[in-house]
Structure 1
Amino acid sequence: MASIEAQRMQPPATVTHSRLQSMRLQSLAGRTIATLVIATGALIILIPFLFMISTSLKSKNQLRAVPPPLIPWETTMVEVAGKREPLYRVTIDGETREMALVKNQPGGMGVFVDPVDPEQSVTLKIAEQTPVRHIELHPENYAEAMTAVPFPRYLLNTLIVTFVGMTGVLLSCTLVAYGFSRFRAPWLNWLFIVLLSTIMLPRQVTLIPVYVLFQRLGWVDTLLPLIVPTFFANAYDVFLIRQFLMTIPLEMDDAAKIDGASPLQTLWHVLVPQAMPVIVTVAIFHFLYAWNDFYEPLIFLHSRHNWTMAVGLQTFNALYAVNTHLIMAASVVMVIPPVLLFFLAQRYFIQGVVISGVKG
């Protein structure tokens, strides 16, 4: 009886093992398909960025190509009888040779000659021949774009507005969020609702009174209207930091209070290290906002030497509309800092999305 029961027990074990193998294969296939789909989507999204970089390295001749190539190809030129002529790969009697096009004729025909022996010539249809090309990069476009207008000054103004404003946002929003998340007072929740309601107020509604205020203070055409308001907390960042701080147990505050820490010491030494992911996230958000902001600098900054990169790039686009390679070079320079910031801080950014405020 024992052997019969043992034999009956064997088939289910075999079925279970095969089922596990099938599940593993299905899971692997699902992950592979998902990875391929995500990679394909990422490549599609990167095409405009790659085209911008490619265009910034092209010459004016390369810009005239139709359709514009993604890779900066340049037609290879050779000297024939003291003139530089385009080189083609032509097929003559089944043999492929490299010959220069020296003359165009009606009907799409052309006269091709051997660069080594110009006496050897042949007339062929140009469309059926393949031009010889090579990759030719023009990094000097960046230097020309940066010196055409005072971009270094625009970059300095943008860095001042961005990083000083980032300091103001982090200080003010962290303090306000700390008060809303860790203290209790009458009508505190209603005050928080009033704060959140300011998110629905467009900037255009407050533009005129704010402009009149800054004009009477003498701050118009200076960087102060772009910096000082950041030291007065905004509702969006306060909400993010408050929600994160509320996930940190109050027992940590009590322990710090028993050790003699003041409220500010508790915030700095206990809560800020725990909330570093959300603080970095807020810093990234403000950096992207201030770096790309065009509306407020356009309103408050009148002098050219006070412009930021966004306003300067728009003016550069209007002045050099036909020089697409220079516009793309300036655009690449403006895109690089946000991309570098994200890659340097992505660990904290992702961590702020996937974990709570409690660390094990």
Structure 2
Amino acid sequence: MKKTGKQKFYKILLYAIMIVYAIVTFYPFIWAVAASFKPLKEIVSGGMQIFGGEFTLANYQYILGRSENFPRWFMNSLIVSIIGTSVNLFLNTMAGYALARINFPGRERIYWGMLAMMMVPAQVLLIPNYLIISSLGMKDSFTALILPAAINIGNIFMMRQFFLSFPKDVEEAATIDGLSRTGTFFRIVMPLAKPSISTQAVFVFMGFWNEFLKPMLYMTTPSKYTLTLGLQTFKSQNAGQRWDQIMPASIISIIPIIILYIIFNKYFLQGVRMDGEK
């Protein structure tokens, strides 16, 4: 009985700590959403209340209607993120499958070489990448943001680990049924790898969507800015004081990530049955 009572106490204490942590973490986001519907004078007044005060849609009307560049920046980020994520999913998954399933000369060396490259800080490669992109004439284009990030070694490693545990019986059955290696990959393997691919999609999309340093280095035309770079410029142009415009722009910028997470959330903890039913 004493043990049961002590367990209940620790469980209640754990939940209390988690609830407090959730409130502390989530409150700034809720306040930001509420502030995006408030006039400037109320935002800068220093109050931290969420409800009450004046409610207005003028902030969003300005951002979506009268702001010339914001819709364009949003679409630029969407284009780069969708294309970059699609290319990443395709190449990372194929590379992980090849390293796990296909025997070819130098496979292990390539694998260990990729692991070694993961240890190189990205900051070390900034200047070499800039010089290469400049010499190839890709500056001030979306290609400079997508092509260098077309693969991700961490995600290749994740997919390789997944395919190592993938039952060979499923592939052998597909081969007996007449499918080629390519057909087996696209019609059998990839559908069964949805949980790993979906998880990869969320993180890759977030990486492209939230990228700030690369657009700052490579993009020079304001109409080609991505949303993260555009918001920084937007803030600088307004001397960092027009929070009634910055707040709604920031809230709008996180909507695609929330939608993507909702769509793929069901795959995160979903178990994959690999008993050959498919």
TM-score normalized by the length of structure 1:
0.70
Partner of 1:133 in structure 2?
Answer: none
Contact 1:275 1:357 in 2 (8 A): no
Partner of 2:176: 258
Equivalent position SS for 1:345: helix
For structure 2, the 5+ residue unaligned runs are: none
- Provide the rounded CA distance (Å) in 2 between the counterparts of 1:234 and 1:342: 20
Deviation of 1:356 (Å): 6.3
CA distance in 2: counterparts of 1:188 and 1:357, whole angstroms: 28
Q: Does 1:205 align with 2:184?
A: no
Q: Which residue of structure 2 aligns with residue 187 of structure 1?
A: 106
SS of 2:220 mapped into structure 1: coil
Give yes or no for the alignment of 1:350 onto 2:260: no
Q: 2:52 aligns with which of 67, 73, 82?
A: 73
Does the 8 Å contact 2:192/2:272 carry over to 1? no
User: Per-residue CA shift, 1:249-302, capped at 9, x if unaligned?
Assistant: 111111111111111111112211111101001100011100000011111110
Please, which of 30, 33, 45 is the counterpart of residue 53 of structure 1? 33
Letter in 1 for 2:47: P
Aligned match for 2:191, one of 273, 280, 283: 273
Amino acid at match of 1:73: G
* CA-to-aligned-CA distance 1:297-334 (integer Å, 9 cap, x gap): 11111000100000000011112211222211111111
Residues 154-195 of structure 1 deviation map (CA, whole Å, 9 limit, x = unaligned) = 011101100000110011111111110112234322210101
TM alignment of 1:123-272, pairs within 5 A:
136-146=54-64, 147-231=66-150, 233-272=151-190
CA contact (8 A) 1:177 1:241 kept: yes
Q: Which has the larger radius of gyration?
A: 1
Is 1:44 equivalent to 2:30 in the alignment? no
Gaps of 5+ in 1: 1-18, 75-135
Q: Cα gap change, 1:272/1:25 in structure 2, threshold over 3 Å: closer, same or farther? A: farther
Question: Hey, what does 2:257 align to over in structure 1?
Answer: 338
Pair 181,141 (structure 1): closer, same or farther in 2 beyond 3 Å: same
Q: Counterpart of 2:206 in 1: which secondary structure?
A: helix
Question: 2:42 matched to which residue of 1?
Answer: 62
Q: Is the 8 A contact 1:55 1:72 kept in 2?
A: no
Normalized per residue, the structure richer in strand is: 1
Query: Using the alignment, how far apart are the partners of 1:24 and 1:261 within structure 2?
Result: 57
Which one of the candidate residues 315, 328, 351 is aligned to 2:247? Answer: 328
Percent identity at matched positions?
Answer: 28
Determine helix, strand or coil for the equivalent of 1:157: helix
Distance (whole Å) between structure 2 residues aligned to residue 324 and residue 72 of structure 1: 18
User: Contact 1:154 / 1:312 at 8 angstroms: preserved in 2?
Assistant: yes
Aligned length: 274
Contact between 2:60 and 2:248, CA under 8 Å: does it hold in 1? Answer: yes
Q: Aligned equivalents of 2:266 and 2:11: distance in 1? A: 23
Check 1:346–1:25 CA distance in 2 against 1; reply closer, same or farther (3 A cut).
farther
CA contact (8 A) 2:170 2:274 kept: no
- Taking only aligned residues, the RMSD between alpha carbons, in angstroms, comes to 2.3
Q: CA deviation at 1:357?
A: 6.9
Measured against aligned partners, the alpha-carbon deviations of 1:86-107 in whole angstroms (never above 9, x if no partner) come to xxxxxxxxxxxxxxxxxxxxxx
Structure 2 residue aligned with 1:90: none
Q: Which stretch of the first structure deviates more once superposed, 157-166 or 22-31? A: 22-31
CA distance in 2, matches of 1:211, 1:161: 18
Q: 8 Å contact 2:30–2:50 — kept in the other structure?
A: no
Residue type at the aligned position of 2:18: I
Shift of 1:350: 3.0
Q: TM-score, normalised by structure 2?
A: 0.89
